[in-house]
Amino acid sequence: MSFVISAPPVPTVPVTTGGEFPVHRIYCVGRNYAEHAREMGHSDREPPFFFMKPADAVLPVARGQTGAMVYPALTSNLHHEVELVVAIGRGGRDIAVADAPGHVWGYAVGLDMTRRDLQGEMKKQGRPWCIGKAFEQSAPIGPLHPVAGTGWLERGGITLAVNGELRQRGDLSELIWNVAEVIAELSRAWELQPGDLIYTGTPAGVGAVVRGDVMEAAIDGLGTLRVAVA
Ligand code: MN
């Protein structure tokens, strides 16, 4: 095939055991921890809902490194959301909850960075969230841990500190819709593909960062993702 412009590179995420995981799509789950749903002004359990980021929104950070995120344009309220990221290794449609674990390739710590002021404005007007959620470097991610090494993750602390001060704390067991349920529900709407990443939602305590801040996102068993805001 001859491309008429140079083909863009495939976005990838490093793997703890070596090699790179190529990213196909990034799905995100909204309001998936009860306390965070409440802090965003919602009280009832509702069906999971989804939004997407472009694959090249990943900001991959190798183990032991500190990622550099450039403070994005148009916002004065850039929020952190620490999330468990699930990497899909086997695709499918209408995946049953019981079969979902067989589709998971691995896990990582991720940040769903959000231009909260722009997202809020779009919400108010009933418009799409893209400008608030789907911008460059909006999906920092640590190295992927193959599920073969971690086992199926159902519990474990998930935290985020800014400049050493704890801002978010939760436990994976508090997910309103667990990973298997999220995979099942997503696969009813889209055909999941190898290379898909799913950001599974954030616990309470979201807040703003400014230039110069250093975020440390951690999940038990998956290490720490460090990102500096430049
Ligand atoms: Mn989120």
117 within some domain? yes
Residue 176 has pLDDT above 90, yes or no: yes
54 within some domain? yes
Say if CB 51 and CB 139 are below 8 A apart. no
Nearest to 140, CA basis, from 65, 35, 192, 29: 65
**42-90 residue pLDDT tens:** 877 788 999 999 999 999 999 999 999 999 999 999 999 999 999 999 9
CA of 79 to the centre of ligand 1 (A): 10
The β-bridge relationship of strands 66-69 and 223-229 is parallel
CA of 18 to the centre of ligand 1 (A): 28
Range of the domain at 181: 12-229
38 within some domain? yes
Q: What is the pLDDT of residue 221?
A: 97
- Residue 63 is classified by DSSP as T
4 within some domain? no
CA of 32 to the centre of ligand 1 (A): 8
CATH assignment of the domain containing 47: 3.90.850.10
Report the number of distinct structural domains present in the chain: 1
154 within some domain? yes
175 within some domain? yes
DSSP secondary structure string for all residues of 151-164: ------EEEEEETT
Quick one: CA dihedral 37, 42, 44, 47, positive or negative? negative
168 within some domain? yes
Residues 170, 176, 177: CA angle, nearest 5 degrees: 120
CA of 206 to the centre of ligand 1 (A): 9
Compute the mean pLDDT over every residue in the chain, rounded to the nearest whole number.
Answer: 96
7 within some domain? no
Place of tokens 């110069």: 212
CA of 198 to the centre of ligand 1 (A): 10
Mean pLDDT score, 91-120: 98
